[in-house]
Structure formats: structure tokens, C-alpha cells
Amino acid sequence: MEFKIALLQLLPEDTTEKNLIKGLEACRKAKEMGADVALFPEMWSDGYKLPQEKEELDKLTIPADGEFVLAFKELAAELKMAIGITLLEKHDPKPLNSVILFDRNGNEVYHYAKVHTCAFSFEGVLSEGEDFYVADLDTGHGTVKVGSMICFDREFPESARILMLKGVEVILAPNACPMEINRLSALRTRAYENMVAVATCNYAKGQPDCNGHSSVFDGVPWLREEPGVRDMCVFEAPGDEGVYVATIDMDKLRRHREVDIMGGKYRHTEKYEILVK
């Protein structure tokens, strides 16, 4: 089974309304390119703007059940393609940095809010999410277990590990930061150690502090029937704005998960008490 992911590596416009129009157009292009799911960069609704004054911040928040999100829900059903839409979500006491995944019928698959907010910096104005979620995504030609982490979540092995323990196969990761060798290496490691695929969508070069290089690591570092190792990076975008479609061979990933030793197979949980203190 092939699972095709469209990484919508875009540059934001100056209003939520313009981002809505641009986002809908990008999703239609993704469908034309054969994608099963389209993924946006982090906080697409406002282009990752985070004013520090509450009054200005509140003007940019939108409800999870409002017109912006509803438009992508309806488009997912129209196109018969899943869409992972990201937003600065209206929430009390502080906004959330969220991704909502709709399936090919427009049904909500999960609603995840960033757990590891960058509270040491400008994301201190946000509330943190409560949990990590895994759900079955019906692609129309098979089912994939998917979940999300957002940007800084990547830096904590626990994020991907929790998703792995809940059965995830593919992690959809919205992003807004420079994807350089060290961050890309972190994504590679999360894929390797958990036997999962990780698909990351970043803003294109031109968005402050972003440089494109959206990527997909398929989680398969070697094949039993072939000598040596293989590059798990099956796709890395250039810096340019665009809609990029990458393919994950789910049969290959599932065979690897069945026979290899990574993931949860040889964990010694009785020795990990310090991790939860």
C-alpha cells in the first residue's frame, strides 16, 4: 500500500481570509497530484504570528468549529482527501497551537494541540496541549494509523515514543522553524528508534526563521533481503514554496515493524521510574 502525503510548503499571506483562499487552492493542487492527505505548516490560519499583547493575540485566534476550519472539513469531503489544517485556536485561558485532521469524508480524525510549547520564548502566550492521539485514517485504499506532533515536540523523545506506544505508523508534523541538519537528524532519530514514518511540513524560505526543507523519513533503515543500510529520508523539499507529494511504502514499513528490534519490543519499563518523576 502506498500512502501519499502532500506537504504544503507555503508562504503565508497577511490575513486569515487570504490564508484560507491560498490554503484551499493548495489542497486542490494536492488532490490533482494524487495525495491521500494534505498537511499544512504550523499555525497556518495566521501564518505563525504570535503578538505578545493579549488584545492583539486574541484578534488572531479562531474557533476550532468556525468558518475557517469548516471550509477545510467541507473541502476534504469534496475532494475525497484527508486534510491536516493548523490554526491558532481560541481557547481559555490562553490560545492553543493546534492541528485538526479531517478524513476523506470530512470526519474529524483527531484534534491535537501542541504539548511542548516554546514557553521560554514567544509561545509563552499559549496554553499547552493535554495528550497525544492516534487514530485510523481511511485513505480509500487502506487504513493508516496516524498521529501528530508539532515542531518543538520533536525535540522530546517522549512525544514520538508515546505515539509509538499508542500504535502510530505515520506521524504528521506541522513545523515553523529552520530545518537544518540537527533538527532533521532529530526527525530521523524519532523515525529510527520508533519504527515509524515522520512527515514534516515547514514554511517555505521567506517566512522569518523558516527555510523550507519539509521532509519525510519512512522509518525503514534497512531491509532484511538487502545488504547494508538505506537512507530513511525518502523526501526532502528545497527551500522554495510549493506543494510537494511524497510516498511512504506502508507494506515495507509494516514488514520492518514485524521483524525488527526497535520500537517497544525490548523496553525495560521497570527501570524507567526516573522518567516520570
Can you tell me the distance from the alpha carbon of 233 to that of 49, in angstroms, rounded to the nearest whole number? 30
Judging by beta carbons within 10 Å of its beta carbon (0-12, 13-18, 19+), is residue 40 exposed, middle or buried? buried
pLDDT of residue 122: 87
As given in the structure block, the three cell numbers for residue 97 are 497551537
Strands (E), 35-115: 37-39, 82-89, 96-102, 108-113
Mean pLDDT of the chain: 96
Beta bridge partners of 98: 87, 113
pLDDT of residue 5: 98
Q: What is the pLDDT of residues 37-85, one digit of tens each?
A: 999 999 999 999 999 999 999 999 999 999 999 999 999 999 999 999 9
Structural domains for the chain: 2-276 (3.60.110.10)
pTM: 0.97
* Average pLDDT over every residue of 140-149: 98
Judging by beta carbons within 10 Å of its beta carbon (0-12, 13-18, 19+), is residue 247 exposed, middle or buried? middle
The type of residue at 64 is: A
Q: At residue 19, does pLDDT exceed 90?
A: yes
Distances (CA, A) of 81 to 72, 78, 149, 195: 10, 8, 21, 25
Q: At residue 174, does pLDDT exceed 90?
A: yes
Can you tell me the distance from the alpha carbon of 213 to that of 230, in angstroms, rounded to the nearest whole number? 20
Which of the four pLDDT bands, split at 50, 70 and 90, describes residue 224? confident
Backbone φ and ψ for 241, nearest 5 degrees, come out as -65, 140
pLDDT of residue 211: 98
Residue written as cell 487514530? 135
pLDDT of residue 52: 95
Which of the four pLDDT bands, split at 50, 70 and 90, describes residue 226? confident
Residue 38 has a CB neighbour count (10 Å cut-off) of 31
- For residues 110 and 133, the answer to whether their CB atoms sit within 8 Å is yes
Q: At residue 16, does pLDDT exceed 90?
A: yes
* Average pLDDT over every residue of 152-171: 97
